[in-house]
Structure 1
Amino acid sequence: MIPPPARSSAPTAAEASAWADVLVRRRLVRAAVLMPTGQWLVQDRPDGPVRVLSGPADVVALAATIQHHTRSTRS
């Protein structure tokens, strides 16, 4: 397997927003909300805890983690 290329820049707010939208639309997370401070509030399920992500890099990392888990658990 070829490793992904290294990023040349930090994730932007627009990229994080796009990934958050995909995660919610595909029901991989219940909610992802950008706060005025630049932090993100993410909830996995309706009765679950709300996590605070510090910025765009954390949202992109969450998306990558979910994607990796989804791909590794497929039969």
Structure 2
Amino acid sequence: MIPRPTRSSESTTAEADAWADVLVRRRLLNAALRTPTGQWLVQHKPDGPVRVLTGSADVVELAATIQHRIRSTRPDSR
């Protein structure tokens, strides 16, 4: 498994909003909602538990983890 590179900058709210939108539209998450406190409520499946993420960086990290999992399980297309 290839390790993911570490981020060099802090994640922004706009970046997290964009990733949350993509993950929900692509049906990789059932729901992702930002609360007024800056926390995020994330649900993977419609009947699954709701996770609380502490901030934008956690949403971007979740997106990176999902993306890494998809790429590492996809058959090599070369």
TM-score (norm 2): 0.87
Match of 1:35 in 2: 35
Cα distance, 1:4 vs. partner?
4.4
The letter of the residue matching 1:32 is A
**2:69 aligns to what SS in structure 1?**
helix
Q: Evaluate the alpha carbon distance shift between residue 6 and residue 45 of structure 1 in structure 2; reply closer, same or farther with a 3 A threshold.
A: closer
In the alignment, structure 1 segments of 5+ residues that lack a partner are: none
Match of 1:45 in 2: 45
* Cα distance between partner residues in 2 of 1:6 and 1:57: 10
1:17-28 → structure 2 map (5 Å cutoff): 17-28=17-28
Q: Evaluate the alpha carbon distance shift between residue 62 and residue 35 of structure 1 in structure 2; reply closer, same or farther with a 3 A threshold.
A: same
> What is the identity percentage for the equivalent residue pairs of Structure 1 and Structure 2?
70
Cα distance, 1:47 vs. partner?
0.5
The letter of the residue matching 2:16 is A
| C-alpha distance after superposition, 1:18-74 (max 9, x if no partner) | 000000000000000000000000000000000000000000000000000000000
The letter of the residue matching 1:16 is A
Number of aligned residues: 73
* Cα distance between partner residues in 1 of 2:7 and 2:40: 24
**2:42 aligns to what SS in structure 1?**
strand
Task: Give RMSD over aligned pairs.
Answer: 1.5
* Cα distance between partner residues in 1 of 2:7 and 2:19: 18
In the alignment, structure 2 segments of 5+ residues that lack a partner are: none
